């Protein structure tokens, strides 16, 4: 039986999620905007999940906008805020941006590609200027550096809550305090932290916050964006007036209901159990492999993501995590040699580079991530498989 340790890439839907989606797809096939009885029942299923999200974000339900995933929510937050800022500036109504000025954005140097890639593309088109907030050796953004980067034209700061490659938790409240003082909007991608860490939007001092379902054992293709009252966004696509006009298109009732089922299942005791499995795995790895390094902080991280720096070979040659991950897969253990969104890239991870890892260290780093399907029985299975993967096949050949 395969051992799945890649939940940070996508956490497999639980049986409850699958059953709930099948039930809704079967019994509530109507458009949730329809006025008839089945349509209204579908709408109520959607509003139930919206209410669940609002409860865990400590906001009102009408402040939650459903999207087709976290990547779309990140794009709506950033592009929507930029377009709204430029519209306000052209009317002389923006508190920072002058009419005709190019907006400026600050984002952490370790952002998810859906943020980093978007900002780089817009900067290449000269649609904005962007600066990258540096991080420390654990991948934690430095709030004290934000003051230096802010400009009169800065309209938005974007810093993820938990890094998807190393699991480091970012000091959002400190960054948000700086943003509030300068009247700059603050966005955070909380896809990896939602339901695993507290995500009270007031405590975190965010104006916009992204969550997604499939990192939580929900379905792929559904996410949500929290929008603080008074924050203006422009839609990215146009059609009907769905989701307050911000995200037109018929809502995916079954996926949204599945998102709700995933939230139901990720209880506080269950989250604690999963974290306990991850910590046992961490301790076992360090005990069994003395030359191994863990780039993921604990405390100071989400705990369920382990960025594992593999020890060099006996001859001193550095390991290649991609080869070790392939060997582990042959032994029935599924992990990542990089974030799934960066798989196949020739360059080393921008996260590892920002943390100051050398190239050979970055290329020797595996990501192991624990989810609800894992138990304490998986710890010795991982250790045994990694021993075999590092030793290589029979005959003594080692992985380079």
User: Each residue of 84-120: pLDDT tens digit?
Assistant: 999 999 999 999 999 999 999 999 999 999 999 999 9
- What's the pLDDT score for residue 400? 27
Structure tokens at 324: 């070790």
CA angle, 263 then 264 then 270, to 5°: 90
- Whether domain 3-10+268-391 has CATH 3.90.1150.10: the reply is yes
- Which of 343, 332, 341, 340 lies closest to 384 in space, CA to CA? 332
Write out the E strands in the chain. 3-4, 64-67, 104-108, 129-133, 154-158, 185-189, 208-212, 223-227, 293-294, 305-309, 333-334, 365-369
CATH T-level topology, domain 15-265: 3.40.640
pLDDT (tens digit, 9 = 90+) per residue, 293-307? 999 998 999 999 999
Residue 301 is classified by DSSP as B
CB–CB of 310/365 below 8 Å? yes
- What's the pLDDT score for residue 338? 65
Catalytic, out of 59, 179, 341, 342: 341
- Which of 287, 323, 309, 320 lies closest to 368 in space, CA to CA? 309
Q: N- to C-terminal Cα distance for the chain?
A: 27
Average pLDDT, the chain: 93
pLDDT (tens digit, 9 = 90+) per residue, 14-25? 999 999 999 999
Q: What are phi and psi of 28, to 5 degrees?
A: -130, 65
pLDDT beyond 60 at 396: no
| Annotation says 59 is catalytic | no
- What's the pLDDT score for residue 259? 98
Distance of CA 74 to the CA centre of its chain: 10
CB–CB of 341/114 below 8 Å? yes
64-to-156, 233, 265, 308, 398 alpha-carbon distances in Å: 20, 13, 20, 36, 51
Question: For the whole model, what pTM was predicted?
Answer: 0.94
Confidence of residue 394 (pLDDT cuts 50, 70, 90): very low
Confidence of residue 282 (pLDDT cuts 50, 70, 90): very high
| Beta-carbon contacts of residue 313 (< 8 Å; ≥ 6 apart) | 319, 398, 399, 400
pLDDT beyond 50 at 397: no
The predicted model gives 180-184 an average pLDDT of 97
pLDDT (tens digit, 9 = 90+) per residue, 46-94? 999 999 999 999 999 999 999 999 999 999 999 999 999 999 999 999 9
The predicted model gives 261-272 an average pLDDT of 97
Three-state DSSP at 265 gives: helix
**Distance from C-alpha of 286 to C-alpha of 345, rounded to nearest angstrom:** 28
pLDDT beyond 70 at 393: no
- What's the pLDDT score for residue 346? 58
- What's the pLDDT score for residue 399? 30
- What's the pLDDT score for residue 340? 44
Query: What are the residue boundaries of the structural domains of the chain, listed by start?
Result: 3-10+268-391, 15-265
Per mean pLDDT, which range of 84-98, 258-272, 327-341, 352-366 is the poorest? 327-341
Tokens 């896809």 locate to 191
Three-state DSSP at 111 gives: coil
């Amino acid at each position: 039986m395969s051992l799945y340790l890649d939940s940070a890439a996508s956490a497999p839907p639980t049986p409850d999620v699958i059953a709930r989606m099948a039930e809704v797809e079967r019994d509530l096939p109507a458009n949730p905007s329809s006025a008839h009885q089945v349509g209204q029942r579908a709408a109520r299923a959607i509003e139930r999940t919206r209410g669940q999200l609002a409860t865990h974000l400590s906001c009102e339900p009408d402040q939650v906008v459903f999207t087709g995933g976290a990547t779309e929510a990140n794009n709506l937050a950033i592009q929507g805020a930029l377009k709204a800022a430029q519209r306000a500036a052209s009317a002389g109504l923006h508190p920072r941006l002058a009419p005709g000025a190019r907006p400026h954005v600050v984002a952490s140097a370790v952002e998810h590609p859906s943020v980093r890639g978007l900002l780089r593309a817009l900067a290449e088109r000269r649609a904005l200027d962007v600066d990258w907030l540096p991080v420390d050796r654990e991948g934690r953004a430095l709030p004290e550096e934000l003051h230096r980067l802010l400009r009169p034209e800065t309209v938005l700061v974007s810093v993820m809550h938990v890094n998807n490659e190393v699991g480091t938790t970012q000091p959002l409240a400190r960054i948000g305090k700086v943003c509030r003082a300068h009247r700059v909007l603050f966005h955070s991608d909380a896809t990896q932290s939602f339901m695993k860490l507290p995500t009270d939007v007031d405590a975190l001092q965010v104006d916009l916050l992204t969550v997604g379902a499939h990192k939580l054992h929900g379905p792929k293709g559904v996410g949500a964006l929290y929008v603080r009252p008074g924050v203006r966004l422009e839609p990215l696509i146009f059609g009907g007036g769905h989701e307050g006009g911000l995200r037109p298109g018929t809502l995916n009732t079954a996926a949204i209901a599945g998102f709700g089922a995933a939230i139901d299942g990720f209880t506080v005791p269950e989250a604690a159990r999963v974290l306990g499995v991850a910590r046992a795995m961490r301790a076992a790895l360090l005990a069994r492999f003395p030359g191994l390094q863990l780039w993921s902080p604990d405390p100071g991280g989400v705990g369920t993501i382990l960025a594992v720096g593999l020890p060099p070979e006996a001859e001193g040659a550095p390991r290649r995590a991609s080869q070790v991950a392939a060997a582990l897969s042959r032994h029935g253990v599924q992990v990542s040699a990089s974030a799934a969104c960066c798989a196949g890239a020739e360059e080393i991870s921008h996260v590892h580079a920002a943390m100051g890892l050398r190239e050979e260290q970055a290329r020797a780093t595996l990501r192991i991530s624990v989810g609800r399907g894992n138990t304490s029985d998986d710890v010795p299975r991982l250790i045994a498989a990694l021993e075999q993967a590092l030793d290589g096949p029979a005959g003594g050949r080692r992985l380079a």
